[in-house]
Homo-oligomer: A and B are copies of this chain.
Amino acid sequence: MEKKKNVSMAVIKRLPKYHRYLKELMRNDVDRISSKELGEKIGFTASQIRQDLNNFGDFGQQGYGYNVKELYKQISLILGLDKEYTGVIIGAGNLGQAIANYNRFSESGLSIECIFDANPKLIGMRIRDIEIKDIDTLTQYLQENSTDIGIICVPRINAQKVTDMLVKSGVKGIWNFAPVDLVVPDDVKVENVHLSESLLTLVYLMKDN
């Protein structure tokens, strides 16, 4: 299975959803499913599902549908879930602590190794097993510990600065929770979670009602 190039961002954003639904089907002991049935579950058309998956290979079988376990495995591979990732959180405020506490990310292969903060009151504390370290030791830490993902939970005003520190030390993935658009080199990937923007979208949709 060779991944094709130029898969659109829209398709990429749908992959985790396929992954989630297939996992749900496995939980319910469903062995196989047609693109039509899968589509009805997810809310996509059967044709969209076939098109999306055709970007990555020839799954499914005419008249049989998809083997749920096999498709789940393939999508896991496509998503890169066969690999483990290490991450550090920058910012030990409420959001940083919540993310450290929220232990679901290990299912996605992410192991959060430590948290960095500038607040002396927080340094040395532990969130679950994860130690809060002095932000001044970040660069040294990154030199000594291979780190894939930096999780940005600092205030807006400091977000670009800590991102620059991470990128300079070779971190290639930034998961950004700060309400700001970060500037990074092409080989560094950024995924944003903008909570306030999500809330504003909801408020707009409610007003539109």
Closest residue of chain B to A201 (Cβ to Cβ) is: B191
- Asked whether B78 lies within 8 Å of A200 as measured between CB atoms, the reply is no
Please count how many residues in chain A sit with their CB below 8 Å of the partner chain's CB atoms.
58
User: In the docked arrangement, what's the CA distance between A43 and B184, Å?
Assistant: 14
A16 at the interface (CB under 8 A from B): yes
* Candidates B79, B101, B198, B206; contact of A204 at CB < 8 Å: B79
Q: In the complex, which residues 14-43 of chain A have their Cβ closer than 8 Å to any Cβ of chain B?
A: 15-17, 19-20, 42-43
A167 at the interface (CB under 8 A from B): no
Question: Separation in Å of the A46 CB from the closest CB of chain B?
Answer: 18
- Asked whether B204 lies within 8 Å of A78 as measured between CB atoms, the reply is yes
User: In the docked arrangement, what's the CA distance between A99 and B148, Å?
Assistant: 26
User: In the docked arrangement, what's the CA distance between A108 and B89, Å?
Assistant: 26
Question: Which A residues are within 8 Å of any B CB, using their own CB?
Answer: 3, 12-13, 15-17, 19-20, 42-43, 78-81, 83, 85, 94-95, 97-99, 101-102, 104-105, 107-110, 148-149, 172-175, 179, 181, 187, 189-191, 193-209
Given A16-B196, A108-B203, 4 extra CB contacts under 8 A: A13-B201, A16-B197, A175-B198, A191-B199
